[in-house]
Amino acid sequence: MTTSEHCKCLRIGDAAPDFSARSTLGQVSLSDYRGRWVLLFSHPADFTPVCTSEFVALAKAADRFADMDCALLAVSVDSLYSHFAWVRAIHDRFGVKVRFPIIEDPTLILGRAYGMVAESAHDSSTVRTNFFIDPEGVIRALACYPINVGRSVEEMVRTLAALQAADATGGLAPEGWQPGDPMLAQPEPELDAIFMPEDPTDWFLNAEAGKQ
C-alpha cells in the first residue's frame, strides 16, 4: 500500500486497495481471496461490549458465509496478541471459536486506506464499517455504523445474497428482498415499452421478471 492510497474516499464500484498484514490466522493479503467474495469489516476495539456481541454472532454465522463463497476478514487497531486474548475470552464465555482472520492495524494504515478513519485521527474508536468486495476485487456495497450501534448479521447475509442474486439474474432486489423471492426487472428504456403494458406501472415495476 502506498502513501497516496492513505485516506482514500472509497465508493461503490472502486477497486478495493490490496494489503498484506498479520492476523490471527497468519499473514493475509486481500489478493489471496481473488475469485471469492470478501466481507471486510472493522471494529472499534477488542474487549468491547457491542463488538463482542457482533463477533459471537459472526462466528456462529461463519458457515453461512462460507456456503456463499464469502470470506470474512475483520480488522481493528488492536495488536495481534490482544486479538488472541479476546478470541480466547469469547470462547471461554460463549463456547464459540472465532475462526476467521482478525487483522491487526496499529498504525491505522489499513483503516486510512479504506477511509475508515480520518487522516488526522490517532485511534479508530468510531470505526464500524463493512465492505462487500466481489470476486474481481471491486467494492459492491458498504455500510458504516457508530460506535454505540451494533450491526445486524442477518442484514449482512441478506446484502451479500442480494448482490449475488442480482449478478446471477440481472434483476433488482426490492425492499426487504430475501433469497428465493422474485426480483424486479430492469426497465426497458424504450417508448414502446412504456405504452405496451395495460398497467402503466408494469413498465418500471415488474416483480415477475428476474426470478432466481
**Over the stretch 167-196, which tens digit does the pLDDT of each residue have?**
999 999 999 999 999 998 877 666 665 656
CA distances from 61 to 49, 152, 154, 170 (A): 19, 11, 9, 27
Q: Can you spell out the DSSP letters for 51-71? A: HHHHHHHHHHHHHHHHHTTEE
Q: Which of 71, 100, 105, 70 is nearest to 87 (CA)?
A: 100
> With the C-alpha atoms ordered 170, 174, 179, 185, is the resulting torsion angle positive or negative?
negative
Element (H, E) at 42: strand 37-42
pLDDT score at 4:
36
Work out the average pLDDT over 72-83: 95
Q: Is the pLDDT of residue 6 over 80?
A: no
51 is catalytic: yes
Q: Is the pLDDT of residue 149 over 60?
A: yes
Q: Is the pLDDT of residue 200 over 90?
A: no
pLDDT score at 1:
39
Outline where the chain has alpha helix (H): 49-67, 80-94, 109-113, 153-169, 191-195
Residue 189 is placed in which grid cell? 428504456
Tell me how crowded residue 71 is: count the other CB atoms within 10 A of its CB. Answer: 19
The proportion of the chain whose per-residue pLDDT surpasses 70, expressed as a percent, equals 80
Write out the residue limits of the CATH 3.40.30.10 domain(s) in the chain. Answer: 3-152
pLDDT score at 3:
32
Q: Is the pLDDT of residue 52 over 90?
A: yes
Task: Tell me which CATH homologous superfamily contains domain 3-152.
Answer: Glutaredoxin (3.40.30.10)
pLDDT score at 41:
95
Catalytic residue among 7, 9, 51, 144: 51
Distance CA 135, CA 154 (A): 21
Work out the average pLDDT over 70-79: 95
CA dihedral 174, 210, 179, 146 (to 10 degrees): -40
Mean pLDDT over the full length of the chain: 87
Work out the average pLDDT over 68-83: 96
